[in-house]
Amino acid sequence: MVVASGPVNSTGVSAVIDVSRSSNLDGDDKQLLECLRAGEDGCYEMLVRRFGPQVLATAKRYLRSDADAADCFQDTFLAVFEGIDKFEQRSAIGTWVRGITVYQCLMRIRAQGRRHEESIEHLLPVFDENGDRVQSFAGVRSSDIGDSIDATQLKIIVRQKIHELPDTYRVVLLLRDIDGHTTKQTAAILGISVTAAKTRLHRARSALTSLLKPEMERLNYHADM
Amino acid sequence: MLTCKEFDDFMVDYLDQRLPVWQKFMCWLHVKMCRECAGFIRDYHRAIKLGQNAYDAPDEPVPNSVPEELIKAALSHKRSK
């Protein structure tokens, strides 16, 4: 696993960003980096326009409001500008920027505390005294969009359901299942043990399964096992 | 044979295929023998797939998806430094 140090942000915390899925710099990246390090204003604009959509999309995925995503956008590029001289070129610039974006999102979520932390116990599997599974999806409502549903609507519903998860679980799910980090990498990014990451991931997935159960039944959705 | 609760505890590692051979076999056997857990792991796996599909190509840039004022604000931060 290749780990790169991100820029020191305004709080003085150095971001540790995983970039193990990255590649080395290509020609475009090299040219952009040289130009950025030369301090040319036009190159900063090029950087923001090139990676801005990716940064904003990532911020909207992790954060709950557009205002937070916009603030995160600013914080990310500020950190990128400040850290460009320390960029170690172990990954593509886009991968590095994505790592910083996720880090900025996590810092923002952490700073906001646990105000979104509602219990998910009612969405988790239930076992009887013998350890046997008891079916229970009580209280999970299907979305109100009628009987037919297309792929775009389904994506929106699934995103909404993921959004309903408390941050503690939602973030692990996003890092692990959506962004494709390993459990070990997810644990490192969040500063928690691998065991804790696995537990949170399992609870997040179990809760999401409950939340999506009505949609799966309605769709008779079939996925390859 | 594993109980459903014990199987549930192994589920993340089971799906990741990270269990030792014996535990993997015990989980496989449990799924074969337990209709409830077979149904649950099927839905669990579908939920993961649905989540991934909902965010497929997450980094695909959407043209003009960033408001101009956001871009300008980011650049003005840089210039003010």
Pairing state between β A126-127 and A14-18: unpaired
pLDDT at A149 over 90: no
Has residue A116 been placed in a domain?
no
**Which DSSP state fits A131?**
S
Residue A201 domain flag:
yes
Please report the pLDDT score of residue A166 as a whole number: 93
CB contact under 8 A, A223 and B49: yes
Residue A18 lies in a domain: yes
- Assess: ipTM above 0.90: no
In this complex, which of B12, B40, B73 lies closest to A201 when CB atoms are compared? B12
- pLDDT tier for residue A118 given thresholds of 50, 70 and 90: confident
Query: Which residues, at least 6 apart from B27, have a Cβ–Cβ distance to it below 8 Å?
Result: B2, B7, B10, B11, B14, B19
Containing domain of residue A22, as a range?
3-111
How many domains does one find in chain A? 2
Averaged confidence pLDDT in chain A: 82
d(CA A67, CA A84): 26
* Model pLDDT, residue A21: 41
Amino acid A198: pLDDT = 97
Q: Which of B64, B70, B72, B76 to mutate against chain A (most A CBs within 10 Å)?
A: B70
Query: Is residue A76 assigned to a domain?
Result: yes
Give residue A77's pLDDT: 94
**Does the pLDDT of residue A120 top 70, yes or no?**
yes
Nearest by Cα to A77 from A43, A52, A50: A52
Q: What is the rounded CA–CA span in Å between residue A175 and residue A166?
A: 14
pLDDT < 70 positions in chain B: 57-64, 81
Q: What is the pLDDT of residues A94-111, one digit of tens each?
A: 889 999 999 999 999 998
Instruction: Count CB atoms within 10 A of the CB of residue A125.
Output: 23
Assign A137 a pLDDT band (cuts: 50, 70, 90). Answer: low
pLDDT, position A63 = 94
CA angle A58, A91, A12 (to 5 degrees): 65
A5 reaches B (C-beta below 8 A): no
Whether residue A224 lies inside any domain: the answer is: no
With CB atoms and an 8 Å threshold, state whether B50 touches A216. yes
pLDDT at A131: 94
Range among A8-22, A131-145, A157-171 rated most confident:
A157-171
What confidence score (pLDDT) does residue A12 get?
Answer: 32
pLDDT band for position A19 (cuts 50, 70, 90): very low
Q: Which of A70, A90, A111 represents a domain boundary (last residue)?
A: A111
* Confidence at residue A88, expressed as pLDDT on a 0 to 100 scale: 84
**Band of pLDDT at residue A194, cut at 50, 70 and 90:** very high
A135 contacts B75? CB cut-off 8 A: no
What CATH number does residue A171 fall under?
Answer: 1.10.10.10
Q: Look at residue A214 and tell me whether its pLDDT is greater than 50.
A: yes
Nearest-CA distance B52 → chain A (Å): 5
Of A85, A111, A137, which closes a domain?
A111
Give this prediction's pTM. Answer: 0.81
Euclidean distance between CA atoms A145 and B79, whole angstroms = 48
The answer to whether residue A187 sits within a structural domain is: yes
- With contacts defined as CB-CB under 8 Å, which chain B residues touch A176? none
Closest Cβ–Cβ partner in A78, A131, A177 for B52: A177
Task: Judge: A52–B59 Cβ closer than 8 Å, yes or no.
Answer: no
- Contact at 8 Å (CB) between A99 and A19? yes
Co-location of A45 and A99 in the same domain? yes
What would the pLDDT profile of A51-85 be if each residue is shown by its tens digit? 999 999 999 999 989 999 999 999 999 999 999 88
How many contacts does A have with B, using Cβ atoms within 8 A?
A: 143
| A17-26, A131-140, A170-179, A191-200, range with the lowest pLDDT | A17-26
Average pLDDT over residues A26-44: 84
Band (pLDDT 50/70/90 cuts) for residue A116 is: low
Query: What is the mean predicted confidence (pLDDT) over A113-125?
Result: 81
Cα A176–Cα A177–Cα A183 angle in degrees, nearest 5:
30
DSSP letters along B34-78, please? -HHHHHHHHHHHHHHHHHHHHTSSTT-PPTT-S-HHHHHHHHHHH
Residues A13 and A37 occupy one common structural domain: yes
pLDDT of residue B6: 96
Asked if A106 and A140 sit in the same domain, the reply is no
Name the pairing type of β-strands A3-8 and A133-134: unpaired
For residue A146, give every residue at least 6 positions away whose Cβ sits within 8 Å of its Cβ, in sequence order, or none. Answer: none
Q: Is pLDDT at A114 greater than 60 in this prediction?
A: yes
Q: Is residue A84 part of a domain?
A: yes
The CATH number assigned to the domain holding A9 equals 1.10.1740.10
Alpha helices in A84-222 (DSSP H): 93-111, 151-164, 167-173, 183-190, 194-219
